[in-house]
Every structure is written in C-alpha cells, then in structure tokens.
Chain A
Amino acid sequence: MVDLRQLTDELESALGVRSLGVLTQGGQKVVFTAEMSGQEVVVKVVFVPQGPQGDLVRARAHREVELLGAVDSPHVVKVLTDAVELSSPVDAIVWVEERLDGEDLRVALGRAWDESAVRSLLTDLGKGLAACHELEVVHRDLSPGNVRKTSSGRFVLMDPGLARHLEKTAITGPYQPGTDGFRSPEHVPGGDCVPASDIFALGILAYCALTCELPVDARQPDYEVTLASVQAPSVRAKRSDVSDELANVVDRCLHLQPARRYLDGGELVLDLESWS
C-alpha cells in the first residue's frame, strides 16, 4: 500500500508542484490534481515493477513522454515535464500534464450528435492526430475516456496511449493498448499499429456520435476476429440523413484495410478542409 502523504511530498519535491489532490487511483496508476507555476495541472504516477519488466517501463516512459512533449497542438493535451523517476516511497515514473476543463466523451456519446458537431470532432481530433503522426507517435487508445471537450467546445486528445500502456506493461508485459469497442483491426495480438489505426478509432468515435452504437460490437465472443476480418457497416445504414461528404469520411476512416483509410491525421484534415 502506498503512503500517499509520503508520495505527495516526493512529488512536490521532484516536480515543483503544490496543492496535490488525488483525482483517480487504481491498479498501477495514481492521478493527482495540482498546481505548477500558477497553473492547474495533472500529475500522473505509474508504479514500476521490480526486475526486467521495470526497465522496460522506465525506458518506454522516457521515450514516450519525450515524444509527447514534442507534440505541439491545441488538440493534444500538453506534457509539461519530462518523465521523472522516483525511488521512494515506491519506484515510479511521474510527469505533469496540463489540466483541461470540460468533460470526456463517455456521457456525450449516449445521444446522437448533429452533423456539424461530428465534423468538429473529426477536424479537431484529426489535427491532434496530425501533430502526433508528424512525429510518428501513434495514440493507440483513442476512446471516449481519452477525448475531452473543453468548455470552449474544443476537442482535445488525452493520455495518448501512454499512461494506460505503461500501466498495463507493468502488469502484463508488452501488449496491445486500447479499449474494447474502440480498437482498430491492427489492435489485435500480433498486430502492428500505424497512424491509420488511430484514424480507424476516430472513425469509431464519429460513428458512435452519429448513431450511439459501436460499428463492431465488442461484447461478441469473436470480437477480435470480426474486427480484423469483417468490414464495418456504413454509417449510412443507421443515419440516412447524414450528408454524403460526412458519410464518406466516416466510412473511409472505418475501412478494414488501413491503406484504404486516411493514412494519418494530416490526410484526414486535408480532405475535411477540401469540402468546407
């Protein structure tokens, strides 16, 4: 059991943050709210297991936090510090991200959105993905809990696969990150996630926003087989009122073959802008 008081003291000392409060806690991860240089921030803590698995977690954390720190987009949560290693009271990797207002999409996807809102979602997240993909960063877990809509209406990518990936790696070793229902056909064991995999996940979000349903039901027993081998249905089948342009974009995002999708966020945004 981690002594949270001791941990917050260490975090204040290591990161220069103040006013720490637990936001979420579970598994191998704790998330705090805090203040840093006068701004509200989030502090993420991933515990490092002993042994070679721990070395893997450390190496991955340094690499991915560095990559994300280099991403500069209003549509990707900003990483404000490098990954810092704590050795007491527990072995952990910690870093600071900006804290955003608003809500994630878990509730909002319970009702059908209008076309302009879905287009904003695609455009904002497409721009966020473009910034990641330009640096060859693949998000790998584009799901409702990882997208925030701020009070100003801006969509922002959160936690680009990082914290959850690290947490799971700590427990299970190398694995495919992602959230059932929001995985791409490449998100299966042995698969190789590419930028077009994020595009598929964004297509799922857009499909859900339009229909309140998942294109591939994650509850079915052969979910991964279906995901990897069956073309997702056209959004037209559920929403005949959607414009051809938007339906084509969503369907293309959801193409079974990654080479037939938009290859990355930049290509998606270019297409969206061409029919504005």
Chain B
Amino acid sequence: MAGLLIHDGRRVGHRKWTVEAIDAGLADGAVLSPFATPRVAEPRFPSGAEMASAVRGAGGEVLFDAMTHAVFLPGANKLDFYDGWELWGSGTPDLGSPAARLDHVERVFSRQRKLGTPPLAPTVQLSSPVDASSRTAVELARVARGMESGTWQSLVGTRAFWSSGTRLDAFIGTLASLRAPVWVLTFANEIVVDHKPDMTDLAAWEGFSRTVHSLSERARVIVAHADFSGMPAVAAGADTVGSGWDRGQRCFDPNTYRLDSDPGIRIPASYVTQGGLMAVMRRDVAEAIERWDPKQGYRLRGGTMPPSDSAQRMHHLGRLRHAVADVSGQGTRRDRVQELRDRYRAAEADFDVLNRALGRTVPPSEKTTWASQPLRVLEAYASAEGL
C-alpha cells in the first residue's frame, strides 16, 4: 500500500469527491476524523460507517484517526461531531490516570472495530521528547499495544519536538521498541498563515525526515496532513502522504479544530497545481504561464489546465500521487533522495525561467517556498545520512 490518503473534511461533496478520486486512481483511501464526520449521519454529512463503506466500496483503504492530539489543543472547541463519538468515559477529555488512558484507548479501538478500520492508537501533541506529555504519549502507545499487539501508532510533534536532536532520537528508540507495523506521523503547525508550506525550520524538518527514516526501517510510515511538504519524508522512507483539497487537510492547522468566531462569507482563491514544480499557485498565475508558453505550461502543470476547481481537486491529487509514486518507487533510499533532489533542482531552474519571463507574477519567493527550502531540508537529511 502506498500513495495518497485523503483526510476528512466538512465540504458537502467530500464523500463524493473522495470516492471519485479513489475510483480514478488518484488517491488510495481516506482518513476519517471525528471532527469532520459524525458518528450518526447528519443532514449533508454521512455517518462514519457510511463514509467508511463508501471508501471501501471504491477499493480504498480506510483509517479512523481519533485526533486525540487535536482535542487537547488550546481553543479546540469544534466538538459538534466529535462529542457524538463518545471517546471519553467521563465525557471530558482526560488522560491523567492509567484508568482514564485505558478507557480512552478502549473506546477508540471499539469505534475503529465497528468501522472495520485498523487499530490506530491515539496520541497527544508533543513539544518535547522529555516532558510529561511525552511520557503520556509513551503510556498511551504501550496501553494500545497491550490491548492490540499489532496496533498502528501515531506520533504528532511541533517544530520544537522535531528539532530536539539526540533527545528526539532517544525518544524514537523507546517508541520503535513497540514494533508497530505502521506509524502515522504528523508535523504539527502551531500557526498556519496561508496554503504554502513553511519549511524554514531546517532542524525540525530534518529531524522529522530522520525519524521517518528510523521508523521506516521496520514499519510502514504514513505522513499525515503533509501534501507536498511530505516529499522529503517520502524520500526518507514514508510510502504515503495525507492530503485533500483544503488547508486543514493538506497541513495540520489548529484552526481546523476551532469554531470560527466570525465565519462570514469566504470565497477561497482559485488555485492550480503545477506538478512539475510541486507547487500550488493561484489560477491567475497559472493562466499567465499558459499565455506565456502553452507547451511549457502543460509540462509544468503535468496536464491540461483544469477548467474548474472541481477538476483542480483531482488534478492536484493526481500530481501529488504521481510525485509520491515516483520517489517511493525507487529501489533504495539513496535513489529516492536522488529522484527528489532532481525534481527540486529542475523546479528551481523552471522557477528561474518563469521569473525571468513573467517577472513579479512568479516572484523569487515562490521558488524559495516550493523548491529551495524543501531542497535544503532534503540535503540536510541526506548529508546527515551520507546519502
């Protein structure tokens, strides 16, 4: 199993689009979330069981991530669907005692069994590998393994966690000894300002890739909420990335779990994925590229111009999945790294050409965000590993 999983979302067409993407070979399954899918169907929102059945019916893999790490985030209050899953005995999230942890894991596994999804242990978000939360994470993981020996495990960390060097490595050693067959890793953002990946923290992203490398030596690794920012992790050994159509699917955004204080009317900008650049740019930029050189535009996009946002959703998944397959399909880690390195270098060269041809329409900052920073992450990882 490898490729792309679609994270849960609240768009009305979510189930239909997910099934279409799997049917079309553009995605490999879905990750359900108690924040986005209700346990009991609501108007316009299918139940978890209906969603799982639809995805499975299309031949897709289904996971149910309890998202325990999200419910403990400050201000997490988007609980209308979440509460219906009854994941806490007392009704209130609490992991403060062995009995509370056992009860929560038991409830999560029970829901997963009913949905027919693999046992995926809940976890908490970590900012340090040596604090009380990290001990809670280990205890949760041990309880989960004690209940289901083949349980899949989750690990969620902030930049501070992933950049904690040898202390991170020692912590990963403790987790690796649990011998989970599958790891679901999340690079948690504390603030998300736009749809572009922020890979400026070299130490954190290198630590994330290093961890993927370590865990993937014995297990399958899925990088959740990753989109194109998960590509260095794929080079390091992950085989699947989590993505979708909205920001809250493509990256871990704490706002996804908060009620919007002023929902208002928001029309998201229209975007087009440039597969050759491993970038997502505004539609007006994509059209400028098309006008400048249709042949180059076709090559950079990796296909025809998606005529609608609906087509763009599928185009994006297709281009991302293609990139994941190209890199993960290489025989060795060295080859995976080289494949991705070549892609980033080619993207850098293409961004330079676009900047010269189109000026401020494609500013140098786009090259930095989508190609140069990820390449720096890849090179930092590769250099540390001697690849």
> Which residues of A come within 8 Å of B, CB atoms?
185-186, 190-192, 194-196, 228-229, 256-261, 263-264
A–B complex contacts, Cβ < 8 Å, 20 sampled: A185-B166, A185-B170, A186-B173, A190-B130, A192-B170, A194-B173, A195-B177, A196-B173, A228-B166, A228-B170, A229-B165, A229-B166, A256-B169, A257-B214, A258-B169, A258-B174, A259-B172, A259-B173, A260-B217, A264-B177
Q: How far is the CB of A66 from chain B (nearest CB, A)?
A: 20
Query: Which residues, 127 to 176 on B, are CB-close (under 8 Å) to A?
Result: 130, 165-166, 169-170, 172-176
B214 in contact with A260 (CB, 8 Å): yes
CA distance A256 to B165 in the complex (A): 11
- Report if B215 contacts A (CB, 8 A): yes
B177 in contact with A196 (CB, 8 Å): yes
A192 in contact with B174 (CB, 8 Å): yes
- Report if B56 contacts A (CB, 8 A): no
- Report if B179 contacts A (CB, 8 A): yes
Q: How far is the CB of A88 from chain B (nearest CB, A)?
A: 38
A228, closest chain B residue (CB)? B166
For B214, what are the chain A residues with a Cβ–Cβ distance below 8 Å?
Answer: 257, 259-260
B173 in contact with A258 (CB, 8 Å): yes
Q: How far is the CB of B207 from chain A (nearest CB, A)?
A: 11
B175, closest chain A residue (CB)? A259
CA distance A256 to B173 in the complex (A): 10
CA distance A192 to B138 in the complex (A): 12
B130 in contact with A263 (CB, 8 Å): no
CA distance A196 to B178 in the complex (A): 12
A200, closest chain B residue (CB)? B173
Known: A192-B174, A194-B174, A196-B177. A256 touches B130 (CB 8 A): no
For B215, what are the chain A residues with a Cβ–Cβ distance below 8 Å?
Answer: 259
For A264, what are the chain B residues with a Cβ–Cβ distance below 8 Å?
Answer: 177
CA distance A190 to B166 in the complex (A): 13
Which of the listed residues B165, B169, B215, B217 has the most CB atoms from chain A within 10 Å of its own CB?
B169
Interface 1/0s, chain B 167-203, versus A by CB < 8 A? 0011011111101000000000000000000000000
For B165, what are the chain A residues with a Cβ–Cβ distance below 8 Å?
Answer: 229
CA distance A37 to B360 in the complex (A): 91
**Chain A: interface secondary structure?**
loop
B176 in contact with A263 (CB, 8 Å): yes
A258 in contact with B172 (CB, 8 Å): yes
Interface 1/0s, chain B 209-232, versus A by CB < 8 A? 010001101100000000000000
Q: Known A-B contacts: A194-B174, A228-B166, A263-B218. Give 12 more (CB < 8 A).
A: A185-B166, A186-B173, A191-B170, A192-B170, A194-B173, A229-B166, A256-B169, A257-B172, A258-B170, A258-B172, A258-B176, A259-B215
> Which residues of B come within 8 Å of A, CB atoms?
130, 165-166, 169-170, 172-177, 179, 210, 214-215, 217-218
A194 in contact with B177 (CB, 8 Å): yes
For B179, what are the chain A residues with a Cβ–Cβ distance below 8 Å?
Answer: 263
For A195, what are the chain B residues with a Cβ–Cβ distance below 8 Å?
Answer: 177
For B170, what are the chain A residues with a Cβ–Cβ distance below 8 Å?
Answer: 185-186, 191-192, 228, 258
For A229, what are the chain B residues with a Cβ–Cβ distance below 8 Å?
Answer: 165-166
For B217, what are the chain A residues with a Cβ–Cβ distance below 8 Å?
Answer: 259-260
CA distance A185 to B166 in the complex (A): 9
Q: Which of A192, A259, A263 makes the CB contact (< 8 A) with B169?
A: A259
For B210, what are the chain A residues with a Cβ–Cβ distance below 8 Å?
Answer: 257
CA distance A229 to B218 in the complex (A): 24
Q: How far is the CB of B174 from chain A (nearest CB, A)?
A: 5
CA distance A190 to B174 in the complex (A): 13
CA distance A264 to B174 in the complex (A): 12
CA distance A229 to B170 in the complex (A): 10
For B172, what are the chain A residues with a Cβ–Cβ distance below 8 Å?
Answer: 257-259
CA distance A186 to B215 in the complex (A): 18
For A259, what are the chain B residues with a Cβ–Cβ distance below 8 Å?
Answer: 169, 172-173, 175-176, 214-215, 217
CA distance A256 to B210 in the complex (A): 12
A136, closest chain B residue (CB)? B177
B166 in contact with A256 (CB, 8 Å): yes
For A185, what are the chain B residues with a Cβ–Cβ distance below 8 Å?
Answer: 166, 170
B169, closest chain A residue (CB)? A257
Q: How far is the CB of A259 from chain B (nearest CB, A)?
A: 4
Q: How far is the CB of A29 from chain B (nearest CB, A)?
A: 30
Q: How far is the CB of B287 from chain A (nearest CB, A)?
A: 47
Q: Which of B130, B173, B177, B218 makes the CB contact (< 8 A) with A257?
A: B173
CA distance A228 to B166 in the complex (A): 7
For A192, what are the chain B residues with a Cβ–Cβ distance below 8 Å?
Answer: 170, 174
CA distance A259 to B212 in the complex (A): 11
For B174, what are the chain A residues with a Cβ–Cβ distance below 8 Å?
Answer: 192, 194, 258
Q: How far is the CB of A253 from chain B (nearest CB, A)?
A: 13
A196, closest chain B residue (CB)? B173
CA distance A258 to B217 in the complex (A): 12
For A258, what are the chain B residues with a Cβ–Cβ distance below 8 Å?
Answer: 169-170, 172-174, 176-177
For B176, what are the chain A residues with a Cβ–Cβ distance below 8 Å?
Answer: 196, 258-259, 263
B138, closest chain A residue (CB)? A192
Q: How far is the CB of B48 from chain A (nearest CB, A)?
A: 33
CA distance A229 to B140 in the complex (A): 28
A258, closest chain B residue (CB)? B173
Q: How far is the CB of B219 from chain A (nearest CB, A)?
A: 10
CA distance A196 to B175 in the complex (A): 11
Which of the listed residues B170, B174, B177 has the most CB atoms from chain A within 10 Å of its own CB?
B170
Q: How far is the CB of A216 from chain B (nearest CB, A)?
A: 14
B215, closest chain A residue (CB)? A259
A229, closest chain B residue (CB)? B166
B166 in contact with A263 (CB, 8 Å): no
CA distance A199 to B329 in the complex (A): 32
For B175, what are the chain A residues with a Cβ–Cβ distance below 8 Å?
Answer: 259
| A-B CB proximity, top 3 nearest | A258-B173, A259-B214, A259-B176
